[in-house]
Chains A and B, each alone.
Chain A
Amino acid sequence: DAGVIQSPRHEVTEMGQEVTLRCKPISGHDYLFWYRQTMMRGLELLIYFNNNVPIDDSGMPEDRFSAKMPNASFSTLKIQPSEPRDSAVYFCASTFQGGTEAFFGQGTRLTVV
C-alpha cells in the first residue's frame, strides 16, 4: 500500500476562496482523522470518522469548515470561505480498528493570502 495519500501537497489561495483538501486512507483502515498543525497550537484534531461516519467534529473551528467521507477510500476537508488564519499544515491519518498506530499522510500546506 502507498500509505495515506493527501492532495494537494501545497495550496496557495486568496482570502474568501473555497479550498478543498483530499485524503485517501490506507485500504482496510476504518478510522480517518483530520488534523491541523501550526506552531502556536500544535497538532489539533479537527474531526474523525469511523466507517465513514463522523464521530467527533468538536475540533472543527467554525462553520466555514466541513468534512465528508463519501466512501471508505476518500475524504475531503473543505474551507469556505478561507481566511489567512486558516494557514497551516493539514494532515490526514488513518488507523485500523481504532488502534494507536495512526498512519499520517504527507500533509497539505495551506497558505491563505
Chain B
Amino acid sequence: GESVGLHLPTLSVQEGDNSIINCAYSNSASDYFIWYKQESGKGPQFIIDIRSNMDKRQGQRVTVLLNKTVKHLSLQIAATQPGDSAVYFCALGSQGNLIFGKGTKLSVKP
C-alpha cells in the first residue's frame, strides 16, 4: 500500500532564513506529489504540486524538489516569515486519490 513519511516532526527557523521540509515516500506509482499547509484550526491548504516526470518546480517563495531515485520530496521556503508557521504535509496523488503524510510543524522565530 501507499505510505508517506516525514524525516522530522518539527522544524524551527529564524525569520528570514530558508526552510527545508522533507518527505520520504514508498509508492512509485503516484502521478503527482503535493505540498499542503495547515494553520491552526483550519483545514489543509494547497501550496504547490509537481508531476512525477519533473524534478523541480518553483512557485512564489517556494520550490519543490522531487528525487525519484531515492523517493524523496522536499519543500523549500525562501525568506521564511512568521505567517509560514504551520504544519506542512506532503501528499501523493494518483487517479484522483490523495494520501497525506503525517506532517512537519514549522515554527518561525522572530
Contact = CB atoms under 8 A, between A and B. Distances in A.
Interface of A: 4, 31, 33, 35, 41-43, 45, 48, 50, 55-56, 91, 93, 95, 98, 100-107
Given A43-B103, A95-B98, A107-B42, 13 more contacts: A4-B43, A42-B89, A45-B97, A45-B100, A55-B96, A56-B97, A93-B98, A100-B34, A100-B98, A102-B46, A104-B44, A105-B43, A106-B41
Contacts, number: 60
Most A C-beta atoms less than 10 A away, residue of B32, B34, B98: B98
Given A91-B43, A93-B43, A107-B43, A100 B99 contact: no
Interface in B8-51: 32, 34, 36, 41-46, 49
Contacts of B41: 106
Contacts of A102: 36, 44, 46, 98
17 contacts: A4-B43, A31-B96, A41-B102, A43-B100, A48-B98, A55-B96, A55-B97, A95-B96, A98-B95, A98-B96, A100-B32, A100-B93, A102-B46, A103-B46, A104-B45, A106-B41, A107-B43
Given A45-B97, A95-B96, A100 B49 contact: yes
